[in-house]
Structure 1
Amino acid sequence: MFRQKYATYRFIDGEPGLWGPTPYGNISKNNIDTALAAVDELHKQDAKFVKVYGNIQEDVLEAVVKKSSKLNLEVAVDILHTKSIDSIKAADHGVKWLEHASSIVHSLYPDYNTQISVDEFERISQIEVSEQRLTEVLTYLIEKEVKIVPTLSLYRHLAEGRIFNPPELDQSKQMKLLDEDKVFTVDDQFNEIDSQLNDHFRSRQKWEYEQVKAITEKHLELGGEVYTGTDAPAGTWVYPGLSMIEELNEFKRFNLNNFEILKKASLDAKE
């Protein structure tokens, strides 16, 4: 039985907030004082880290990291949708965690962001980044002690939809219980999101999925810290628990044995 509960405070975003204006879940302001007040509040609540989001401005990020560092709090970022802060800039400011391995793609493809046009994406997606450039970026991040959580199962489901790995998960007892649940109703959320995803979005997610796989493989090869996570139940078809099985299967491609993979999802994650 679990006897400890962990709650989170709002994450720090910029304007316009990716989840809208400031509500109970996030702070969406391009204001340093507001962001620093949020860091103070997190510290008072005995938080272990601060999380910032994709529209944060660089001057706000710099201030948040400096303040957090003084309070012995590490900063994690989900900046998948950033237009201005790549992984090198984030590392230079002192960010220690890149959730979804976010913004590394931006370091490899400086013209890329998730809001570019279809034609611009088609151009960028044809570019092949050299092994040397990938190694340079990841080596720099490792020197800065940056850790990544690639959430490959999330990328794959956004690209492929409701296809499970392994397929047997779809027939599992856990899935049956989720289908019967009348409170969580996560499938309603997934179906609503899924209905709004067009072919171009899926092709872009497929491209990002392939990029993040290559990033993860090289980061591990270079001795970088990589951890397992799924972001469940965000996005589509990523279920708490079940998706961790999918994520462990994703890690089979990275020349890790079963013990090493399980260790990443248990002892290393706890650490």
Structure 2
Amino acid sequence: MAEAKQYLIKNGTIIDVEKGESFLGSIEIEGTKIKRMYKVDERLPENLQIIDANGMYIIPGLIDMHCHIQCRFAPHFLASGVTTVRNPASNVMMIEDLLIAPLDAATPRVFSADRMIDGEPGLWGPTSYGNFVTEDPEEARVEVRRQAATGVNFIKIYGLANREVIQATVEEARKFDLEVACDLIHSQKVSALEAAELGVTWFEHASGFVQSLYPGWYPTADQAEWSHIDWENPDEQMIKELCKQMLQYEVKLCPTLVCFDQAKQYPTIWSPENLVTRSLEEHDILMSHWQSMEQHVHSIKQQFCNQHTFTKLVTKSYFDLGGTVVAGTDTPALLYTFPGMALHRELELFREIGLTEMETLQAATIRAAQSIYLENIGAIKEGYIADLVILNENPLEAIEHTKSIHRIVKGGRVYSQEEVLTYIQSNEESEVRMVEFQSRWEEEMSKVEVGD
């Protein structure tokens, strides 16, 4: 079936996230695209291979709008039904194999930023392949130009960047029609509202909203000074008024609720038992990393978990006002944000805060695609890329059913979860690729230095 160039997915319940409805029908796929849709009473083409979807439910491929993907665990996203990811901050040279992969590859397509632009001393240390640290606006402009030349899809600002660097980054990015995203969780200098005024478009983790309401607060500050804040019962009216102000700038939110929820719930984490999580354990992919993070759980909870309820309220308030809110995970950040599977928990959390099942699906499909101006994915539609997930159970009855995966279609190719997971890189191959990357990166940076 995987090699078929033209086939029919027959008699499934098709969930139309664009119109917000579902219907019984069939989907004809030719090559990498959806050729035609058929309602149940329409005549079907003959002499095509058939995938019988009777009693099953078909949704668009899911989109994780905030994760830090690596080649080693990229297949786990696809095995979870995630056909596209947005990668805010990485190094595009490190994930080049994913960026140039064919449409039907056993890995998700990647919409990516390059290394993040941060302020001194750098939340992740001094300048490296993963971050660029500066207090100089002109240096930021040069870095934006360098990143634009690599073909990035957007630019990422990090928490210690000062106002002048943010402004310069936005101005330079606009010359290349690139949006700017920010993570202001640790910001001591700029709030969300101030960043929006400077032209930042994307607010990862709904960050900086706390600083807008409580100037001077940041996670590692002496929290005794902020003991008057009732984190479990935030001021909803203040949040709503702030969201109204942010809406004027048409900003977009990716709250990554699951990242903070896993930390808050620890040690009773959300941990589904399925092929994907078992594969992570068997191959020791990220598991040792998360186990080592457990020794820092007190610090993690202290810094991040008091914002969890606050961020949920921001998410729902901004959504209710008509703002753009999309689903992401921040995989593999903090604790047990399982590649691909964590997005299913994010959908559950969206449902818990009050979105309907359809609205929740839309946040990880059509709304996500529209937010980054991708016009050929995110919906089941004639002419669109054939990215689909065939489910055994109805996600409109319970969003948890998105995990009940029968088959994944990526760029027209049909995969079982088991098949996707055969594409995992070995540790040895990953190590060789890392050595090759480091050599190429050093060579690239030497050219930049000579050019300067």
TM-score between the two structures when normalised by the length of structure 2: 0.56
1:125 touches 1:207 (CA, 8 Å); kept in 2? Answer: no
Which of 323, 327, 330 in structure 2 is aligned with 1:228?
Answer: 327
1:268 Cα deviation (Å)? 2.0
Task: Note if 1:175 corresponds to 2:277.
Answer: yes
Cα gap change, 1:129/1:152 in structure 2, threshold over 3 Å: closer, same or farther?
A: closer
CA–CA distance in structure 2, aligned partners of residues 129 and 161 of structure 1: 22
CA–CA distance in structure 1, aligned partners of residues 228 and 238 of structure 2: 19
> Over aligned residue pairs, what C-alpha RMSD do you find?
2.0
Q: Which blocks of at least 5 consecutive residues in structure 1 are unaligned? A: none
Cα gap change, 1:6/1:66 in structure 2, threshold over 3 Å: closer, same or farther?
A: closer
Aligned partner of 2:305 in structure 1 is: 206
1:108 Cα deviation (Å)? 1.8
1:18 Cα deviation (Å)? 0.6
The one-letter code matched in structure 2 to 1:254 is I
Which of 55, 59, 62 in structure 1 is aligned with 2:164?
Answer: 59
1:89 Cα deviation (Å)? 0.3
2:231 touches 2:309 (CA, 8 Å); kept in 1? Answer: no
Aligned partner of 2:289 in structure 1 is: 189
Give the structure, 1 or 2, with the largest relative contact order (CA under 8 Å, sep 6 or more).
2
Aligned partner of 2:361 in structure 1 is: 262
- Larger strand percent: 2
CA–CA distance in structure 1, aligned partners of residues 305 and 123 of structure 2: 22
The one-letter code matched in structure 1 to 2:333 is A
How much identity, in percent, do the aligned residues show? 30
Cα gap change, 1:116/1:123 in structure 2, threshold over 3 Å: closer, same or farther?
A: farther
The one-letter code matched in structure 1 to 2:280 is L
2:281 touches 2:287 (CA, 8 Å); kept in 1? Answer: yes
Question: Within 5 A, what are the aligned runs for 1:40-119?
Answer: 40-119=145-224
Larger radius of gyration: 2
2:300 touches 2:334 (CA, 8 Å); kept in 1? Answer: no
Aligned partner of 1:247 in structure 2 is: 346
1:70 Cα deviation (Å)? 2.3
1:196 Cα deviation (Å)? 1.6
Report the count of equivalent residues: 265
Aligned partner of 2:128 in structure 1 is: 23
CA–CA distance in structure 2, aligned partners of residues 250 and 155 of structure 1: 11
The one-letter code matched in structure 2 to 1:62 is Q
Task: Note if 1:144 corresponds to 2:246.
Answer: no
1:190 touches 1:235 (CA, 8 Å); kept in 2? Answer: yes
Aligned partner of 2:14 in structure 1 is: none
Q: Residue 114 of structure 2: SS of its match in structure 1?
A: coil
Q: Residue 76 of structure 1: SS of its match in structure 2?
A: strand
2:331 touches 2:339 (CA, 8 Å); kept in 1? Answer: yes
1:160 touches 1:202 (CA, 8 Å); kept in 2? Answer: no
- Larger helix percent: 1
1:145 Cα deviation (Å)? 0.6
1:109 touches 1:124 (CA, 8 Å); kept in 2? Answer: no
1:164 touches 1:246 (CA, 8 Å); kept in 2? Answer: no
Which of 126, 145, 161 in structure 1 is aligned with 2:266?
Answer: 161
Q: Residue 171 of structure 2: SS of its match in structure 1?
A: helix
Cα gap change, 1:146/1:81 in structure 2, threshold over 3 Å: closer, same or farther?
A: same
Q: Which blocks of at least 5 consecutive residues in structure 2 are unaligned? A: 1-103, 371-452
